[in-house]
Amino acid sequence: MAKPETNPETIVAAGMRIEGELKSSGNIRIDGIVSGKIHTSQDLMVGPNAQIDADLIADNAVIAGVVKGNITAKGSVLILETAKILGNISCLSLGIKEGAYFSGACRMNEPKPTATNGQ
């Protein structure tokens, strides 16, 4: 499960507004307003005051703010109690804390079978 406090390389702090496609190869933390698309090959943390109107693609995601858009994660998605999500989620594992709002469909991906010796 993704940790809420990983060391972010990209930070959109409170008060910043971004429009367009935000791409990173490192961890991203969003506390501001983003519309468009967010794409990272690592972890994404959406803070409790963040407002996102965008599709999110990440390795793992922790959501504590408002997200209007689809969330696609290779690994886990953790929805914290302050989160409000209007969109679909695709992930390997999902955690939802009591009090969170989630309106959408969820598609759980099958874990890839691990190769064994001799096969």
Partner 1 sequence: MYYYIVDPGKISQRDFERVQNQLYSSVSEYKIAGEIARVTTLRTIPQLVEGALTRGYKTIVAVGGDDTLHDLINAVAGREVGIGFIPIIASEVGQILGLGDIPHSAKTIAIRRIEEMDLIYINHNAIITSVAFGAGMQAYSSIFELWRLPTFQIDFSADNNEFRGTTQAIGGVVINSRLKKPDNQKLFNPTDGILDVLLLPKLSKFQTLKFRIDILKGNFEKIPGSSIIHVRQLQISAPEGLPLRVSNKIITRTPATIEVKPKALKIIVGKERKF
Provide the β-strand partners of residue 81. Answer: none
Residue 30 vs 61, nearer CB to partner 1: 30
Q: What is the 3-state secondary structure (H, E, C) of 41-107?
A: CCEEEECCCCEEEEEEEECEEEECCEEECCEEECCEEEECCCCEEECCEEECEEEECCCCEEECCEE
Q: How far is the CB of 40 from partner 1 (least distance, A)?
A: 11
* 88 lines the binding site for partner 1 (CB under 8 A): no
Interface with partner 1 (CB under 8 A), residue from 1, 3, 17, 81: 17
Binding span for partner 1 by CB under 8 A among 18-26, 71-79, 83-91, 108-116:
18-26
Any contact of residue 6 with partner 1 (CB under 8 A)? no
Instruction: Calculate Rg over the CA atoms of the chain.
Output: 14
Residues that bind partner 1 (CB under 8 A): 7-24, 26, 32, 36
